[in-house]
């Protein structure tokens, strides 16, 4: 029993909440307590468990109060942010109301306009310099890239706000934005895009014609028959001609012009006399084509002055082709001179017809002006008529009408007026 009593006292000290740091002498001096029964010990343990459960239930309550505060803070911040977001939407009805009632809410839109517009101005200057003054294809590629970035910034501008209110000035924010400047910037972007397109086409032509020239040169060196050599020479010459057709204002055109002299010199050195003969044949063929077009256009006269001028130009082009054949080209020079004599004769006839048409038109115009003056000067009372003056004016009109030559476009009209003038002239004689 003494052993059990000792165990019970140790258990009570460790589980009943009594301070275990009490001095044993103090315990001796205290009155001995009555040992607790097993039922009492169970009740104390159950009570301590309830206290622990109560304290653990109070902690989630505090966490719930913290979450509630966070939700309210989020709501208080989110409502103004949502209001600003709605105010800056690209909806004309909303934005006009906001500009009139609370323009400060559009501050994000103004800042966005300023940033995008300034970036667009910087990029367009860089793109313009690279595209208009390229030194290589890489410059053009970089310029095109800068141009695309410029378009991106322009597309991000809230132009709906700018169209309604082209200028903004407020006490809290000041910014000038010109719709006309934006339109001019877009026009400049379009021009640069067209220029880039031309540059790309020119670069494609340069690459293709360089390859065609290289292929023709290799083909000429490899073939053995005369027919194949002629075909290779024709392809070679065609590539040279196409290189000359590349627009000179483009980077590819400038590159081609720098290369052409070397290419032509190589062509003459490699091909030699065969190329000369082919050249003569090509010139004669071209001259014959121009002469055929001139003869066709000159059919079924009369023609106007403009039409005779076009026919004259065609004959001049044919003659120009033949004059390029020098006396050293023995094979084709004789044939060229024979054709040249015929073409120059035809050109002279066309010039005569054109001059006749010009003079006849002018004579008819002068006669018509004199007729108008005569009619305007006729008095209302025939008694006041100056017959000598009328006869003199009719004589001048008849002289002008007789200058209109046959075979011109105004000949029939002049003949009608001439008959009428002669009839009036006889009446006053």
287/417 same-domain check: yes
Instruction: Tell me, yes or no, whether 195 lies in a domain.
Output: no
Domains held by the chain: number: 5
- Among residues 341, 245, 339, the alpha carbon closest in space to that of 283 is found at 339
Structure-model confidence comparison of residues 294 and 167, the more confident one: 294
Higher local confidence (pLDDT), 321 or 99: 321
Residue 411 lies in a domain: yes
Within a domain: 191: no
Question: How large is the C-alpha radius of gyration of the chain?
Answer: 53
Same domain, 217 and 315: no
Task: Tell me, yes or no, whether 12 lies in a domain.
Answer: yes
Confidence of residue 107 (pLDDT cuts 50, 70, 90): low
Q: Does pLDDT of 248 surpass 60?
A: yes
Q: Do both 165 and 117 map to the same domain?
A: yes
Per the domain annotation, does 58 fall within a domain?
yes
Is there a single domain that holds both residue 157 and residue 209?
no
Residue 120 pLDDT grade (very low, low, confident, very high; cuts 50, 70, 90): confident
- What's the domain range around 77? 47-87
183 in a structural domain? no
Confidence at residue 171, expressed as pLDDT on a 0 to 100 scale:
40
Beta bridge partners of 176: 167
**Does the pLDDT at position 360 exceed 90?**
yes
371 and 395 assigned to the same domain: yes
Model confidence pLDDT, tens digit, residues 369-428: 999 998 888 877 777 777 888 888 999 999 999 999 999 999 999 999 999 999 888 888
Highest mean pLDDT: which range of 9-13, 70-74, 199-203:
199-203
Q: What is the mean pLDDT of residues 271-294?
A: 81
Q: Is the pLDDT reported for residue 243 higher than 60?
A: yes
How far is residue 134 from each of residues 20, 254, 261, measured CA to CA in Å? 94, 11, 22
Highest mean pLDDT among 89-93, 131-135, 328-332, 348-352: 348-352
Distances (CA, A) of 112 to 107, 342, 404, 419: 8, 75, 75, 82
pTM, 2 dp: 0.39
65-83: average pLDDT:
57
Q: Does a structural domain hold residue 193? A: no
**What is the percentage of the chain residues whose pLDDT exceeds 70?**
65
End-to-end Cα spacing for the chain: 182
Cα gap 331→125, rounded to integer Å: 59
Mean pLDDT score, 261-270: 80
Residues 7 and 73 in one domain: no
**Residue 288 burial (10 A CB sphere; 0-12, 13-18, 19+):** middle
Domain check: are 360 and 426 in the same one?
yes
The tens digit of pLDDT for each residue in 15-51 reads 444 444 444 444 444 444 555 665 666 566 666 655 5
Q: Which of 131-145, 246-260, 266-280 has the lowest mean pLDDT?
A: 266-280
Own/partner long-range contacts of 108-111 (Cβ < 8 Å, ≥24 apart): 108/84, 109/158, 109/161, 110/168, 110/173, 110/175
């Amino acid at each position: 029993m003494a052993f059990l009593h000792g165990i019970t006292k140790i258990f009570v000290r460790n589980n009943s909440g009594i301070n275990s740091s009490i001095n044993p002498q103090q315990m001796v001096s205290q009155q001995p307590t009555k040992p607790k029964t097993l039922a009492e010990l169970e009740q104390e343990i159950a009570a301590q468990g309830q206290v622990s459960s109560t304290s653990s239930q109070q902690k989630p309550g505090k966490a719930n109060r913290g979450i509630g505060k966070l939700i309210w803070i989020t709501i208080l911040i989110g409502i103004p942010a949502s209001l600003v977001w709605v105010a800056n939407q690209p909806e004309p009805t909303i934005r006009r109301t906001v500009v009139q009632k609370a323009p400060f809410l559009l501050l994000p839109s103004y800042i966005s306009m300023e940033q995008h517009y300034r970036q667009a101005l910087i990029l367009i200057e860089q793109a313009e310099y690279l595209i208009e003054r390229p030194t290589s294809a890489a410059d053009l590629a970089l310029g095109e890239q800068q141009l695309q970035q410029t378009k991106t910034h322009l597309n991000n501008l809230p132009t709906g706000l700018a169209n309604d209110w082209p200028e903004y000035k407020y006490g809290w924010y000041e910014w000038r934005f010109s719709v006309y400047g934006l339109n001019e910037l877009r026009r400049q972007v379009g021009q640069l895009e067209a220029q880039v397109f031309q540059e790309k086409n020119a670069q494609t032509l340069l690459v293709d014609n360089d390859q065609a020239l290289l292929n023709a040169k290799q083909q000429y060196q490899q073939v053995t028959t005369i027919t194949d050599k002629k075909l290779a020479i024709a392809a070679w010459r065609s590539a040279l001609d196409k290189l000359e057709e590349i627009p000179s204002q483009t980077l590819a055109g400038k590159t081609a012009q720098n290369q052409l002299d070397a290419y032509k010199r190589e062509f003459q050195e490699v091909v030699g006399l065969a190329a000369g003969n082919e050249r003569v044949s090509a010139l004669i063929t071209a001259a014959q084509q121009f002469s055929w077009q001139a003869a066709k256009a000159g059919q079924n006269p009369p023609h106007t002055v403009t039409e005779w001028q076009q026919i004259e130009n065609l004959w001049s082009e044919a003659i120009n082709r033949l004059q390029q054949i020098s006396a050293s080209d023995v094979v084709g020079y004789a044939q060229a001179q024979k054709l040249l004599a015929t073409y120059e004769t035809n050109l002279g006839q066309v010039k005569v017809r054109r001059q006749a048409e010009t003079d006849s038109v002018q004579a008819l115009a002068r006669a018509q002006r004199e007729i108008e003056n005569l009619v305007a000067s006729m008095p209302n009372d025939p008694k006041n008529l100056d017959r000598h003056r009328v006869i003199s004016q009719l004589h001048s009109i008849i002289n002008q009408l007789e200058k209109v030559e046959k075979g011109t476009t105004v000949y029939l009209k002049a003949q009608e007026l001439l008959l009428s003038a002669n009839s009036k002239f006889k009446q006053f004689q």
